[in-house]
């Protein structure tokens, strides 16, 4: 019989590849008491920020309680996910695809998780890790939401998803750390704040082209806007699993739109307050199931 974790947030012990890698698991009130299975969201922090601080930035924990989904908050070793951009050191880096698979399995053993409604959301290095999962865990992930990140260029070049994966991407046009056009960070502040050199990421437009083709999203893009700074491109296909939606934030920096606390604009650029990235991400994810 499946164990049911009590409502609330808990530190869960987990060992993967001989490394102690606990994670946080939040269960909604009355989880599973009505016999219903729960959606599960994996929330992937960015580089240099811990899982709890990142959740305070996004507010996903509060939203999970309101909407009734389970929330897993894993932690990267050294607060840097192995997102596939450091090809030369790949064999010496943690197996984060395996670790996050283990988190999904462990959460599923503790809570009545719906296997068809497992989602990933991430920012920055967490977003590029989410992009890697979209390519390599297509049998487990129902949809992905990314903020300020796409995927490593090498990951994108070898990405062969076994089925469509709905993708939401939110990105600022003036992001110095994950440049809109792709490549590596190119500004002085981008090089100073993040000293660790990572390989190139795929650009936003190339990433959109890849997923519209992979998902069979033939209709679009449909253009819409949220004045004064948001342009939205949406593609659709024969089923909802083909959905691809890209938000461009004009002049936006390496930030989480409408974050609960603002990153310093001098270091990370402007934070848009035109929309709530947390609500938009959840609304997109919740529309999709496998």
| Rounded alpha-carbon distances, angstroms, from residue 143 to 14, 40, 137, 166 | 25, 11, 11, 5
Flag whether the pTM goes above 0.85: yes
Per DSSP bridges, beta strands 70-73 and 38-44 are parallel
Cα distance between residue 18 and residue 16, in whole Å: 5
Into how many domains does the chain fold? 1
The boundaries of the domain holding residue 278 are 8-286
The 10s digit of each residue's pLDDT in 142-182 is 999 999 999 999 999 999 999 999 999 999 999 999 999 99
DSSP state of 152: B
What CATH number does residue 40 fall under? 3.40.50.1820
Q: Does position 195 have pLDDT exceeding 90, yes or no?
A: no
Nearest residue to 207 via CA among 169, 243, 177, 154: 169
Domain membership of residue 118 (yes or no) is yes
Domain membership of residue 260 (yes or no) is yes
The 10s digit of each residue's pLDDT in 9-43 is 999 999 999 999 999 999 998 765 656 899 999 99
């Amino acid at each position: 019989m499946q164990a049911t974790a009590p409502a609330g947030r808990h530190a869960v012990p987990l060992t993967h590849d001989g490394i102690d890698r606990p994670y946080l698991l939040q269960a909604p009130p009355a989880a599973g008491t009505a016999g219903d299975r729960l959606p599960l969201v994996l929330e992937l922090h960015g580089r240099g920020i811990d899982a709890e601080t990142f959740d305070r930035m996004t507010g996903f924990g509060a939203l999970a309680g309101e909407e009734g989904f389970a929330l897993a908050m894993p932690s990267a070793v050294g607060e840097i996910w192995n997102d596939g951009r450091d090809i030369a050191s790949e064999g010496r880096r943690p197996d984060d695809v395996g670790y996050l698979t283990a988190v999904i399995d462990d959460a599923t053993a503790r809570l009545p998780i719906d296997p068809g409604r497992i989602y990933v959301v991430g920012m920055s290095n967490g977003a590029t890790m989410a992009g890697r999962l979209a390519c390599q865990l297509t049998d487990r992930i129902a949809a992905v939401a990314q903020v300020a990140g796409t995927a490593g260029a090498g990951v994108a070049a070898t990405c062969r998803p076994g089925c469509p994966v709905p993708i939401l991407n939110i990105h600022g046009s003036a992001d110095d750390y994950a440049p809109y056009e792709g490549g590596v960070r190119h500004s002085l502040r981008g090089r100073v704040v993040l000293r660790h050199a990572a390989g190139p990421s795929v650009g936003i437009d190339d990433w959109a082209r890849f997923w519209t083709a992979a998902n069979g999203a033939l209709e679009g893009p449909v253009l819409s806007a949220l004045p004064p700074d948001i342009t939205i491109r949406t593609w659709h296909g024969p089923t909802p699993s083909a959905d691809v939606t890209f938000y461009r934030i004009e002049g936006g920096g390496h930030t989480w739109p409408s974050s609960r606390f603002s990153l310093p604009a001098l270091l990370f650029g402007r934070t848009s307050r035109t929309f709530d990235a947390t609500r938009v991400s959840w609304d997109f994810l919740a529309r999709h199931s496998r």
